[in-house]
Amino acid sequence: MTNLLDIKDLTVDYKTDDGISHVLNRVSLSIDKGETLGLVGETGAGKTTTALSIMRLLPRKTGFVKNGEIVFEDQDLLKLTEAEMRLIRGEKISMIFQDPMTSLNPVIKVGSQIRESLEIHRTDMSGAEMDKRVDEILEMVGIPASRKNEYPHQFSGGMKQRVVIAMALTCEPELLIADEPTTALDVTIQAQVLYLMNNLKKKLGTSMILITHDLGIVSQMCEKVAVMYAGTILEYGTAEDLFSGTEHHPYTVGLFGSIPDLKVSSKRLSPIDGLMPDPMNLPKGCVFHPRCPKCFEKCKTAEPAVSVVKGEHTIKCHLFEKGEKHE
Ligand SMILES: Nc1ncnc2c1ncn2[C@@H]1O[C@H](COP(=O)(O)OP(=O)(O)O)[C@@H](O)[C@H]1O
Ligand SMILES: [Mg+2]
């Protein structure tokens, strides 16, 4: 069986006034149908850039895919024309941005904004069918259809984000990319939105990429997890591999160490010492070596290979390469 999405060796640079930022460095990921992948890592790791690359929404003049492929349903999205990509965006792949106002137009009624995506993609539907679908999708995200003639500012933050989710789901995409969809929301609304997304996934069989730096959310929502750092996937595996296994990348250990008990919500994240490197000036060898408590000589000069721990569980660290001694 082929995967719904296969990203291979994706390498992305941003051109800035100060130089070239190497923001994604040979990122490979895959997602099966109906599966949710959690993409985790600290701010600046390259999570949003990965999402924007899939959507082909990198800033036109400054963001460049240098290498790699993004194969979705057997076609490389990077090879499509803009017109072909527009048909995929919204209909087959849609994205929920962190800030709902990125996606909502303040001067258009909420119902009309949802209807717009049907008008573009579902030319087979009659006007009456579209109206009915707008009502259904609003109800599905817990908003009374009677409010469809209101404007975004008449909605609370949580409701706006649910409208954005409704918009993203209108055309029942095969893949939903949610970029920190709940970060801006308070805890109660956050739980509601996540519950909703999980229900929709079950109901529609949508595959999801869920971007977050909250491992608690990942443990509740995701079958697969990729841990990203400085534009590199350092560890990848099933949620079980990541949450109950014993073999982990030292960076994952650091991240997980910050949430010793997922059930105790009062536990604060304790950040790992040091800072993520500047992508304009990445360290030699392993990108994590300057912060790694297990760093040894080789880590400073040689880039580690991706080692298979077991099944799909991989770790990119010299400690896991054959022939290296564990302490
Ligand atoms: N448009 C841009 N131009 C230049 N650098 C950018 C741009 N967008 C993001 N970056 C840089 O790329 C790196 C990765 O950013 P991003 O993909 O937003 O990470 P994340 O979503 O994991 O926080 C960061 O160093 C960030 O400063
Ligand atoms: Mg981001």
**Closest atom, ligand 1, to C-alpha of 43:** 23
Q: Which helix (H) or strand (E) holds 238?
A: strand 232-238
* Protein residues with CB under 6 Å of any ligand 1 atom: 14, 16, 21, 23, 41, 43-49, 59, 62, 279
- Asked if 227 and 233 count as a contact pair (C-beta separation under 8 A), the reply is yes
Whether pLDDT at 268 is above 50: no
pLDDT at 265: 47
Domain ranges (residues) in the chain: 30-46+73-92+173-320
pLDDT at 197: 83
User: Which residue's CA is the closest to the ligand 1 atom numbered 27?
Assistant: 44
Q: How far is the CA of 211 from the centre of ligand 1 (A)?
A: 14
Q: How far is the CA of 174 from the centre of ligand 1 (A)?
A: 26
Q: Give the tens place of pLDDT for each residue, 71-120.
A: 999 999 999 999 999 999 988 999 998 887 888 999 999 999 999 989 98
Distance CA 23, CA 29 (A): 16
**Closest atom, ligand 1, to C-alpha of 58:** 1
pLDDT at 198: 85
- Angle of helix 157-169 relative to helix 127-140, nearest 10 degrees, comes to 130
Distance CA 140, CA 132 (A): 12
Distance CA 186, CA 321 (A): 43
Closest-lying ligand to the alpha carbon of 44?
Answer: 1
pLDDT at 264: 47
Which residue among 17, 43, 49 is best mutated to probe the pocket of ligand 1, counting the most ligand atoms within 8 A of its Cβ?
49
Residue ranges with CB less than 5 Å from ion ligand 2: 47-48
Q: Give the tens place of pLDDT for each residue, 130-174.
A: 999 999 989 888 899 999 999 999 999 889 988 998 888 888 899
Distance CA 208, CA 198 (A): 10
DSSP annotation of 202 reads H
User: Which residue's CA is the closest to the ligand 1 atom numbered 2?
Assistant: 14
| Domain 30-46+73-92+173-320 part of CATH 3.40.50.300 | yes
Whether pLDDT at 233 is above 60: yes
Q: How far is the CA of 124 from the centre of ligand 1 (A)?
A: 39
Q: How far is the CA of 4 from the centre of ligand 1 (A)?
A: 26
**Closest atom, ligand 1, to C-alpha of 59:** 1
- Asked if 118 and 134 count as a contact pair (C-beta separation under 8 A), the reply is yes
pTM: 0.91
Q: How far is the CA of 54 from the centre of ligand 1 (A)?
A: 15
**Closest atom, ligand 1, to C-alpha of 278:** 25
pLDDT at 322: 81
Q: From the centroid of its chain, how far is CA 256?
A: 19
